[in-house]
Amino acid sequence: MAGKTLYDKLWDAHLVRQNDDGSALIYIDRHLLHEVTSPQAFEGLRIADRQPWRLANNLATPDHNVPTTVKERALGIEGIADPVSKTQVQTLDANCEEFGILEFKMGDERQGIVHVVGPEQGATLPGMTVVCGDSHTSTHGAFGALAHGIGTSEVEHVLATQCLVAKKMKSMLIRIDGTLSAGVTAKDLVLYVIGQIGTAGGTGYAVEFAGEAIRGLSMEGRMTICNMAIEAGARAGMVAVDETTINYVKGRPFAPTAEQWDAAVAEWRTLHSDADAEFDRVVVLNAADIEPQVTWGTSPEMVVDVNGKAPNPAQEQDGIKRMAIERALRYMGLEADQRIQDITLDRVFIGSCTNSRIEDLREAAAVVKGKKVAASLKQAMVVPGSGLVKAQAEAEGLDKIFVEAGLEWREPGCSMCLAMNADKLGAGEHCASTSNRNFEGRQGFGGRTHLVSPAMAAAAAIAGHFVDVREWMN
């Protein structure tokens, strides 16, 4: 019999009950909540007169709607200008108080983007099942956890039962052999993978990322990769546990201590696919082929090397794909065969659950240090992923580097990744963004998003257009 995959091990350890029809009841160790997808779930509990099954497994923080300027944030909830946004944040506070759920509220230094906060607190641990009403929950799989996004009905289900009704997914191994070249980051790697397998390439699969290139990444880099598994269609992405994982978790507030730490580490060391495990699909890519990536279109799979150009629809044989290319070029205001480096930018956004951790900010700061943002740019902003990331960055003097270069230094939140708060693109504006989705209107009505790594966004901010960041490195 073949050995087990990491996904098999995680699934088996959380199986409460197998139903006859192939579905199962799976136990959830960590449930993260934010203000957008939880209000209707709490309302459902109230209507049915149900209580949360196990309070300690839940952790909440507002992120999507919070403003990010220092001035607005100084006023707390009152600083949220949009009354509808304010209601949502107030509703989360009220629900957490009513049901007794731990929440890092606005004004708490631990508040931030839910997918930054969980790992930072050690609330995400190896071997856990982690869910949240947010598709980017796949982020937490970087810890050798089974983590994926759920809908609001499932948020209510997890609150009421601490379980999820699930069907086992197929398994896919994406192995990246070799090492990334200097200036090529985790973000470039995952954009390249999506370009190769497509935005639906991972649909129905739990994806394990492995290989030398993945082993060489920090936890921040691995989180970036797993974060965007969903952009390849895979609800869950994961990476096996190794010393990098264990060292990251050690000493975090929610991490086990003393004897429990030793017992936990012993179990965590088993969280890898067995050598003879079989996957339903295996994709092998070579890290040496990966260059800095830039998306040109309105889907993350519409991505090319920074030295490349937008496609020419005339060269596409498939009718539906040709239409999609034409539509994307029109929306993005690009010509067929236009060089990526000739795209003039209006704004630069460094942040989001994909790239707002300390390492991302260090990477961006190293590029802009001692330089100035291009005068042609309307705005360049850096939004740390949590209050603690912000404090750490300030302790390292990164905020000063950004501000001296002409970038705005903001308060933590989802910010311009999805324009649910005051940070938005104007119609027709091009933005170099370290976020995860370049869909039409995602960053603002008519806005044009180009997804890139923090280093590439930083270099674009200085140049006013895309440049190959490798040419700027010594």
Partner 1 sequence: MKAFTIHSGIVAPLDRANVDTDMIIPKQFLKSIKRTGFGKNLFDELRYLDEGQPDQDCSTRPLNKEFVLNQPRYAGASVLLARENFGCGSSREHAPWALDDYGFRAVLAPSFADIFFNNCFKNGLLPIVLAADDIDELFRAVESTPGYQLTVDLEKKVVRKPDGVELAFDVDQFRRHCLLNGLDEIGLSLQHAEAITSYEEKRKQQAPWLFV
In the annotated binding site, the residues are 353, 414, 417
Of these, 12, 23, 46, 333, which contacts partner 1 (CB under 8 A)? 23
Stretch that binds partner 1, among 283-291, 354-362, 370-378, 432-440 (CB under 8 A): 432-440
Of these, 12, 82, 212, 404, which contacts partner 1 (CB under 8 A)? 82
Annotated binding-site positions for [4Fe-4S] cluster? 353, 414, 417
Q: Residue 115: what are its φ and ψ, rounded to 5°?
A: -80, -10
Stretch that binds partner 1, among 22-30, 341-349, 352-360, 466-474 (CB under 8 A): 22-30
Of these, 3, 76, 151, 333, which contacts partner 1 (CB under 8 A)? 151
Q: Residue 26: what are its φ and ψ, rounded to 5°?
A: -115, 135
Of these, 77, 79, 91, 362, which contacts partner 1 (CB under 8 A)? 91
Cα–Cα distances (Å) from 321 to 191, 234, 303, 317, in that order, read: 19, 21, 14, 8
Report residue 77 as tokens. Answer: 């909830």
Please give the Cα distance from 324 to 309 (Å, whole number): 17
Q: Is 398 left (phi over 0), alpha (psi -120 to 50) or beta?
A: alpha
3-state secondary structure of 422: coil
Residue 151 CB, shortest distance to partner 1, in Å, is 4
- Rule CB under 8 A: which of 178-207 touch partner 1? 199-200, 203-204
**DSSP string over 33-97:** E-TTTSHHHHHHHHHHT---S-GGGEEE---SS---SHHHHHTGGGG--SHHHHHHHHHHHHHHH
**CA triple 447-236-238, angle to 5 deg:** 110
165: contact with partner 1 by CB under 8 A: yes
Calculated CA dihedral for residues 147, 118, 442, 398, nearest 10 degrees: -140
Nearer to partner 1, 13 or 366 (CB): 13
140: contact with partner 1 by CB under 8 A: no
Nearer to partner 1, 10 or 358 (CB): 10
Stretch that binds partner 1, among 3-11, 104-112, 171-179, 437-445 (CB under 8 A): 437-445
Q: Is 344 left (phi over 0), alpha (psi -120 to 50) or beta?
A: beta
Residue 190 CB, shortest distance to partner 1, in Å, is 16
Residue 121 CB, shortest distance to partner 1, in Å, is 14
Nearer to partner 1, 439 or 472 (CB): 439
Nearer to partner 1, 2 or 427 (CB): 427
Residue 333 CB, shortest distance to partner 1, in Å, is 16
Residue whose pair of structure tokens reads 């039962």 in the numeric block: 161
Specify whether the CB–CB gap between 93 and 103 falls below 8 A.
Answer: yes
Of these, 243, 320, 370, 375, which contacts partner 1 (CB under 8 A)? 320
Which has the closest alpha carbon to 146: 26, 54, 232, 53?
Answer: 26
- Rule CB under 8 A: which of 50-79 touch partner 1? 50, 53-54, 56, 64-65
Please give the Cα distance from 320 to 70 (Å, whole number): 46
Report residue 234 as tokens. Answer: 């895979």
Residue 367 CB, shortest distance to partner 1, in Å, is 30
- Rule CB under 8 A: which of 443-462 touch partner 1? 445-446
Site string for partner 1, 268-307 (x = CB under 8 A): -------------------------------x--------
Report residue 332 as tokens. Answer: 């993005």
Site string for partner 1, 26-55 (x = CB under 8 A): -x-x------xx-xx--xx---x-x--xx-
